[in-house]
Structure 1
């Protein structure tokens, strides 16, 4: 029997879970290509930069038997010939490819000085640079965090717990993805930690020792952390595959590339039907499982299932002893309900631990991972199509 070669690009939450799930078919050889030798818990990078926790796990603890880990990076995909060229010069052939390259920090080049003087927290290497820089400045030196989303909130609060003087520059508002009630909970916790929150503030320039706002205000800043926005690697677009404006691979609802039936995608770098899910490990794990299911279905000659998953909440750490768990509808719309304070911190930490536990569980028992479903996406897509037709 011929072996079936499946290559996965990206060893994050989606790619690692997909690799383990593919082991349900003993005829499949799985190669996981990742630029780092260790799995990075991106949801813990704010702890890593503050020195309150680690953010890596050895792949030997997460990957099932028989999965080949290749520490390398893809530079191009030849979809027509089903080959991938790696940075090392190696060329991999595949029968099926799962594109799970994740997301990257997006430091806005239009803001003068941002690329030179700001530090990202989105990837392990940039987080390590930030950790080193924080070690070079005095503990009471002013630190600025740009971006009032979940990453910015977590970074600002974690640094404040260490005694840092932190200013959080939010742009339009604090926690724009939260309900007003959840936003108030976060704001209260930040005040308790001594974080200065600047809403309706736009950064016009980043200096080595300060931020300049668009109203002319100069904020002293020995270290500037940039968390405003995420991008994705340009691998798919550079390889001639169809992508959305951000560079996410365009797929149908089975997570199959719209212009190549041998390529599936999962995680932050996929846009199913042009309507991507929120970038998060909450979305990445089910997407990884569903991309693997599509590959297995195609190998078996059966029809792959359409994307079906739901959201439950947004979990935001506000230091080590508090968190806000913003409850949402299954379509990710926030509602008034939330869990805050110490209980919220317990829930957040439990969720963080379970992300790794679920990956380990899939390694031990491929196909065992389950996720919350709603069936709502098909309705949303149908409504969206109706709206488009009505507008024509």
Structure 2
């Protein structure tokens, strides 16, 4: 057999393993556990106090859509919102206060954390200040949610009910990201697909978990577990803060659940490729532990698993290499099939599924660019801040 045929067979074997042996990552049925909210919470002593903490830096563009959704929560218990304006230059704090006065609803407090101390990443520095203020209110739960996340009115109620009914310490939902522009349609569903492939939700949610992760846009965290885990102080250097948070909770003996959201949406626009590129590349090399060897392995893996199938099919058809064409075509078909459920979740046309190799090539280039920016001294740059390579959790990242 030709060398190309061997590579195509290797890719096909990899896809059969991914299909059956990687926690059924491609399925999208890990949703918030359904519960009879009133009965379960009443059995646990009534609706607990919750404080919502929102770190915000230069979020004036999205705040008019996201903050009112938090203030309008129809939560039966006591709840309030603390928005931490982390050095914004666009009037985020002032706008938040105006929105609170205009819309009413849950009580809103707008605070500033002051100048960031060395050894912290920006979001975690803001969370530190907000969580400290929240703990003074003695809530049973903290809802940590980003400023670009919009919640349906029953979101908080359903999160608390699920945590109470299932005795969970951390309940996280991966917000449904905005998909409107052509580039968003091509890149965004794949972002969640690749994340689930790396951290299969079923493995995370098992009684004996085989993986640990969370989605930072929406995290309901039991306060006593946060104290036991020492967060956010224990993860203050983490660039990928959501995964670090979940691991800290798990080390403290807490139970973690992660799934796809139905009532929580990200409204941040990424209309062009440049914005999506920055979103991915800012933390891609941190995910690889800033390791050139892991980077090389990742690039090789992406090539064999995602790029070889269409190349083998096309080249095999031209050169009449039946084995290469057959194996490449079969691997491509399995790949596209595993992508269909995510496209359906995002309500996107299924003809995008065969384009996954092209999207994977974009992610490969974004990952390489992330490493290049790191070695140029630009590190993980976001919202005017740049973090060097040592800004990554020392606890297993």
In which range does the TM-score fall when normalised by the shorter chain? under 0.3
Greater percentage in helix? 2
- Give the structure, 1 or 2, with the largest relative contact order (CA under 8 Å, sep 6 or more): 2
TM-score under structure 1 length normalisation: 0.23
TM-score under structure 2 length normalisation: 0.23
Greater percentage in strand? 1
